Amino acid sequence: MCATPPELIRTKADERAVADGCWVDLAAAERVRTFFRKFLRHSKGEWAGQTFELLEWEWTDLVLPLFGWMRPDGTRRFRRAYAEVAKKNGKALALNTPLPTPSGWVSMGDVDVGDALFDENGDTCSVVAVTDVLLGRPCYRVSFSDGTSVVADAEHEWAVRSLSKERSLILTTKEIAGSVSTRADGARNYSIPVAGKLNSRPSSLRKQARLRPAPPRLARSTTRQITSVEPVGSVPVRCIQVDSPSSLYLCGEGMVPTHNSTLCAGLSLYLLIADGESGAEVYSAAADREQASIVFREAASMVGASTELSGHVQVIPSTKRLVFPRTGSFYHALSADAYRQEGLNIHGLIFDELHAQKTRELWDTLTYGGIARRQPLLIAITTAGVDRDSICREQHKYAKQILDGIIDDWSFFPYIVAADAEDDWTAPATWRKANPSFGATVKEEEFAEACAEARASPAKENSFKRYRLNLWTQQEVRWLQLSAWDECAGPIDDAAVKDLPCWGGLDLSTKLDLTAFAAMFRRRDGHYLWLPYFWIPEDTAAERERKDKVPYLTWARQGLIELTPGNVIDYDRVVKRVCELCQKYGLRDIGVDRWQAEHAMQKLAGQGLDVVPYGQGFHDMSEPTKEMEKLIVGKQISHGGNPVLRWCANNVAVDTDAAGNLKPNKAKSTERIDGIVAGIIALGRALVSPDGSIYDRRGVVFV
Using the predicted structure, report yes or no on whether residue 477 has a pLDDT greater than 50.
yes
More confident residue, 169 or 393: 393
Distances (CA, A) of 92 to 79, 108, 170, 231: 35, 9, 15, 15
Name the CATH topology of 492-698.
Answer: Nucleotidyltransferase; domain 5 (3.30.420)
When the pLDDT of each residue in the chain is averaged and rounded to a whole number, the result is 81
pLDDT digits (tens, 9 = 90+) for 235-281: 888 777 676 655 667 776 655 545 433 458 899 999 999 999 999 99
Q: Which long-range contacts (CB under 8 A, 24 or more apart) does 557-562 make?
A: 560/534, 560/642, 560/643, 560/644, 561/534, 561/535, 561/536, 561/644, 562/533, 562/534, 562/535
Weakest-pLDDT range from 89-103, 111-125, 420-434: 89-103
Q: Which pLDDT score is estimated for 94?
A: 74
pLDDT confidence band for 691 (50 / 70 / 90):
low
In the structure, what pLDDT confidence band is assigned to residue 52 with cuts at 50, 70 and 90? confident
Q: How far is CA 583 from the centre of its chain?
A: 46
The pLDDT value given to residue 220:
43
Of how many residues is the chain composed?
Answer: 703
pLDDT value at residue 69: 97
* Closest to 122 (Cα-Cα) out of 232, 200, 179, 236: 200
Among 79-93, 127-141, 608-622, where is mean pLDDT lowest?
127-141
| Lowest-pLDDT choice from 202-216, 514-528, 586-600 | 202-216
For 222, 361, 492, 518, 652, the CA distances from 503, given in Å and listed in that order, are 60, 49, 16, 8, 22
Q: What kind of fold does domain 6-88+263-416 have according to CATH?
A: Rossmann fold (3.40.50)
Q: Parse the chain into domains and list their residue ranges.
A: 6-88+263-416, 93-258, 492-698
* Alpha carbon distances (Å) from 661 to 475, 623, 698: 18, 8, 18
Look at strands 502-507 and 23-24 and give their pairing.
unpaired
* pLDDT (tens digit per residue) in 662-687: 888 877 666 789 999 999 999 999 99
| pLDDT tens digits, 530-567 | 999 999 999 888 888 877 678 899 999 999 999 999 88
Rounded CA-CA distance 115/128 in Å is 8
Helix %, strand %, coil % for the chain, to 5?
35, 25, 45
Residue range 191-204, pLDDT digits in tens: 886 655 555 543 33
Give the H/E segment covering residue 446: helix 444-456
Query: In 3D, which of 592, 419, 439, 402 has the Cα closest to residue 503?
Result: 592
Q: State yes or no: pLDDT of 441 exceeds 70.
A: no
Residue 136 clears pLDDT 70, i.e. is over it: no
Residue 484, classed as helix, strand or coil, is helix
- Pairing type for strands 611-614 and 590-593 reads parallel
Cα distances (Å, whole numbers) of residue 238 to 463, 477, 495, 616: 13, 15, 49, 24
> In this predicted model, what pLDDT tens digit does every residue of 209-232 receive, in sequence order?
334 444 444 334 467 888 889 998
Q: Give the pLDDT confidence score for residue 217 in this predicted structure.
A: 42
Question: Is the CB of residue 99 less than 8 Å from the CB of residue 250?
Answer: yes
Beta strand 348-352 with 281-285 is parallel
C-beta neighbour count of 215 within 10 angstroms = 22
Mean pLDDT of 166-195: 72
pLDDT digits (tens, 9 = 90+) for 123-135: 787 776 566 676 6
Closest CA to 46 of 157, 143, 152, 187: 157
SS (H, E, C) 102-158: CCEEEECCCCCCCCEEECCCCEEEEEEEECCCECCCCEEEEEECCCCEEEEECCCEE
Going by pLDDT thresholds of 50, 70 and 90, the confidence category of residue 323 is very high
Q: Give the SS3 label for residue 101.
A: strand
Distance CA 392, CA 400 (A): 12
Query: Are 685 and 588 contacting, i.e. CB atoms less than 8 angstroms apart?
Result: yes
pLDDT higher for 421 or 90? 421
Tell me the mean pLDDT in the region 381-398.
Answer: 86
Q: Determine the Cα–Cα distance for residues 529 and 532; give it in Å rounded to an integer.
A: 10
* pLDDT score recorded for residue 520: 97
- In 310-451, the DSSP E strands lie at 314-316, 321-324, 329-333, 348-352, 377-382, 412-416
Separation CA 12–CA 402 (nearest Å): 8
Q: Which residues pair with 182 in a beta bridge?
A: 188
pLDDT for position 695: 34
d(CA 284, CA 321): 10
- Residue 438's DSSP bridge partners are 442
Cα 533 to Cα 26, 357, 367, 507, 688, distances in angstroms: 66, 37, 49, 11, 23
Most confident of 130-144, 512-526, 588-602: 512-526
Q: Report whether 173 contacts 150 (CB < 8 A).
A: no
pLDDT above 70: percentage of residues in the chain = 79
Give the CATH class of 93-258.
Answer: mainly beta
Q: Are 504 and 451 spatial neighbours (Cβ–Cβ below 8 Å)?
A: no
Helix, strand or coil, per DSSP, at residue 321:
strand
Q: State the angle between helix axes of 618-633 and 674-687 in degrees (0 to 180), rounded to the nearest 10.
A: 100
641, burial (CB in 10 Å: exposed 0-12, middle 13-18, buried 19+):
middle
- pLDDT at position 668 is 67
